[in-house]
Structures are given as C-alpha cells and as structure tokens.
Amino acid sequence: MKKIFVIAILIVALFAFSENGVYPDKIVVGSFQALSGPYAVIGQEMTKGMKAYFNWINNNGGIYKRQIELVVADDQLNPSKTVIEVKRLVEEDQVFAIVGGLGTYGCLAVMDYLNDNGVPFVYQGSGSSLLAIPPKKYVFPVQPDYTLEGQLITKFSVETLGKSKIAVLYMSNDVGKEGLQAVKTKLADYGMKPALEIPYNPAETDYSSLAVRVLGVNPDLTVIYGFVTDTVRWIKTLRDYGVECDIVTIYPNADPVIITLAGDYAEGIYITGWVPLPTEDRPDFVRDYQRFLGIYQESYPDEQVPSSYAVAGFIAAEVFVEGLVRAGPNLTREALVKSLESFDHWNGILSKDISWGPNQRRGKSSMYFLQVQNGLFVPVTNLLTLEK
C-alpha cells in the first residue's frame, strides 16, 4: 500500500512539474495555417514544408528520442479564427510551442496571448516588424521584417543603382504601409522623399488608371509592395504603358511562380531575397538545396520544385528543431528560449544568418538582391545590412 502511494505521488509530481506538450516519447507542437478556404494555396504548402522536415527528424530517431508531433489548426487566414484555434492548441491540446503560424493579422492577434502565457512562438509567416520590435520574450521572428526590407531596398536603390526619383506603389494594408514608411524614413536620411506614392487594393484586377499617374511622374525606379498576382499585374501594366524604369519588389515575390506568370515582363526586375539561391557560383548553396530537396521528397516524392511557401515551412521547422537540440534532453519552454537566444549568425540547411539574443528578436538583419535575367533569378548583391 505504501509503495503504491509513493508511486502515485511520484506520478502526480511528474505531471505537475513536466512541461506542457513534452512527453517521454514525443513533443507536441502546434501551428496555425490556412488549410482550407481561399488561402489554402499558401497554408497547405507551408504545412508541407514543416511536415517534411519533422518527418525526416522523426524517421531519424527524433530529438533525444522524442518524436515531434505537429498539430496544425486550420484558421483559413482569418484572425478571429486564429485566436480561437491557438487558444485551443494551448489550453486543450497543451502544445509545447507554436511554430510557423501563417499570416500577419493572425500572428499579431495571438502574439501577446502566447507571450503572456509563456508559450514560445517560433517563426511567423509574416514580415510585420511588430513581432520583433519591441522584443517579446517568447516570440522569435525569422523572416525579415518589412521595415528592414524597405530600408534595404532604399539603400540599394540609391547607393547601388544611383536612383533618386523613386515611386512607391503599395498595398493599402499593414504590409504596404509599413514598407512605405520604411522607404520614406530611409530616403529622408539621403535628404530625399518619394516622387510618387500610390496605395492600391491588391484584389483589384486592373491598375491602368493608376499607371497613368506613374507615367505622369516618370520615376527612374519604382518600388512595388505587393504580393505575387498584384505585383505581376502592376509590372505588366507599367510596361504596357511604357514605364521603363527599374522595378524593385519584396521577398514574398521571390518565387518561381512570378516568372511563370509574368513571363518576359519579369525580365530585369529586382527582388529582395533572404533564402540562399542555389546558383552555379555558389556550390555550397546548391549542395544545401539538394539536401533540402532530398528531405522534402522523402515526404512528397512527386514534387520536383517546392514552392517558396514550402521552403518557409521547412525553415520554420529547421530553426525550431535546432532550438530543441540546443535546449537539451530536459526540455522546458525556458530552456528553449535560452537556446534560441544563443543563435549567433546560425546557418542550417536553408536557414542562414539567424541571430537572436536577450532583448534581440530580429532573427534576420541581412538580405540580398536578385534580378530576373533570362527567366532565372540571379543574385546581384551579397547579403546587405543597414550597418555596412
């Protein structure tokens, strides 16, 4: 009787002091993605990237003999659903951490809740600077934020390309407005301001009437803060109207689909990038990409060219797993935070140059620029930072 009592107390103590979502044989991790609805095209791809990496880890023995179990909640990219789903993941499914949530508004909607409840939130499918600034103990952004990107775009346009008459076409939402503000701030450092600012609705299907205004100003460089389809619409419209200036656009567009959709119109446009490109002059990146492809195709053998969203999901999983490894076998949320804060220009397979530290949450502080040349992305700069 006494033995049973002691064992019972030990079991209760074990559960009382063990970390949520951490079991002897598995770690339960949550994510929120648009698995259905109109944005499933993004969410399903990002989920595949995460699953591919976690499957590979699990097939190779897991992390300290623990398998990673990924629970993906479908929020349809609707922030009101995100809040409900994330609370369910944390309070009912008792996940250890949230990894790779998709969508700016959803991520921002749950950011404070997760931070206040001490749930690590690693990698967000969003470039909002609000995730990184001010730093939040449990929130670890990886993707470059639009403020950093906007300032780097301006630096590249003015210092490298020597442009001075810059137009900014931006989605009239948080992404576009943050980008515009960043460009304006950096231009002010050069004693300049945008020659033209045009907000637009990304759902609109025709930008002809707005292109007339661009033509009227005749800028020598145009920055487009848009996502794939509206960016392609803009590029085609501007070129049809005879606007021949250089065009720079943002990293969500660094996907092969933009070349497929825009065709010859894409020639010469500059795009920011933060994921290394496997080009002939970088055999190390080619090797990394082949390794990624091998891991990815173990789960999805029919996919020859994974999308950039799948790449994002892969990086989310890769960064998180490195954090788990560094946290050691006695896994707690505090140990994970500490281990993630030890990242110092860390390079994984596709994750490159990731740094965090106490009170430092901007995971990426460097980006480079690509140009579309003969239907291919070609890097035209090394990694740039605001300091250099």
Partner 1 sequence: MVLNQIVLGLATGSFYSLIALGIVMIYKTTGVMNFAFGNMAMFMAYVAFTFTAMGLGPAVALIIVLPLAALFGYAVERFTLRPIRHLSHASMLIVTLGILMILEGLVTQIWGTRYKNFPELIKGKPFVFSGKAGIVVFRRQDVLVFLILICISVLIYLLIKHTKLGIAIKAVSENEKAAQLMGISPGKVFSWMWMFGTALGALVAVLSAPKTYISPVMMVFYQIEGFTAAVLGGFESFAGAIVGGLALGVIENLVGTYISNELKSTFSLILIIVVLLIRPQGLLGSRKIRRV
- List contacts with partner 1 (CB under 8 A): 36-42, 44-45, 172, 198-201, 203-206, 208-213, 215-216, 228-229, 232-233, 240-242, 257, 260-261, 263, 307
Residue 327 dihedral angles phi and psi, to the nearest 5°:
-70, -20
- The owner of tokens 């990698």 is 123
| Beta carbon nearer to partner 1, 156 or 296 | 296
| Beta carbon nearer to partner 1, 210 or 350 | 210
Find the shortest distance in angstroms from Cβ 233 to partner 1: 6
Most distant pair of Cα atoms in the chain: their distance: 90
| Beta carbon nearer to partner 1, 71 or 261 | 261
Q: Cβ neighbours of residue 319 under 8 Å, at least 6 residues apart?
A: 122, 123, 140, 142, 348, 351, 354, 363
Find the shortest distance in angstroms from Cβ 255 to partner 1: 9
Find the shortest distance in angstroms from Cβ 95 to partner 1: 25
Closest CA to 44 of 55, 36, 52, 54: 36
Closest CA to 384 of 364, 362, 368, 360: 368
Strands 368-373 and 270-273 come out as antiparallel
| Beta carbon nearer to partner 1, 198 or 321 | 198
| Beta carbon nearer to partner 1, 157 or 307 | 307
**259 with 372: CB under 8 angstroms?**
yes
Find the shortest distance in angstroms from Cβ 297 to partner 1: 16
Find the shortest distance in angstroms from Cβ 209 to partner 1: 5
| Beta carbon nearer to partner 1, 44 or 366 | 44
| Beta carbon nearer to partner 1, 16 or 203 | 203
| Beta carbon nearer to partner 1, 41 or 325 | 41
| Beta carbon nearer to partner 1, 205 or 382 | 205
Find the shortest distance in angstroms from Cβ 208 to partner 1: 5
Q: How far apart are the first and last CA of the chain?
A: 71
Rg (CA), the chain: 22
Angle in degrees, 0-180, between the axes of helices 40-59 and 308-327, rounded to the nearest 10: 40
What is the C-alpha separation between 351 and 364, in angstroms, rounded? 10
Find the shortest distance in angstroms from Cβ 178 to partner 1: 15
Find the shortest distance in angstroms from Cβ 38 to partner 1: 4
Find the shortest distance in angstroms from Cβ 325 to partner 1: 31
Report residue 274 CA to chain centroid gap: 9
Q: Cβ neighbours of residue 214 under 8 Å, at least 6 residues apart?
A: 167, 169, 196, 198, 222, 238, 241, 243
- The owner of tokens 């091998």 is 294
In the sheet with 67-74, reading across from the earlier edge strand, the strands are 67-74, 26-33, 97-102, 121-125, 139-140
What is the C-alpha separation between 144 and 277, in angstroms, rounded? 16
Q: What secondary structure letter does DSSP report for 264?
A: G
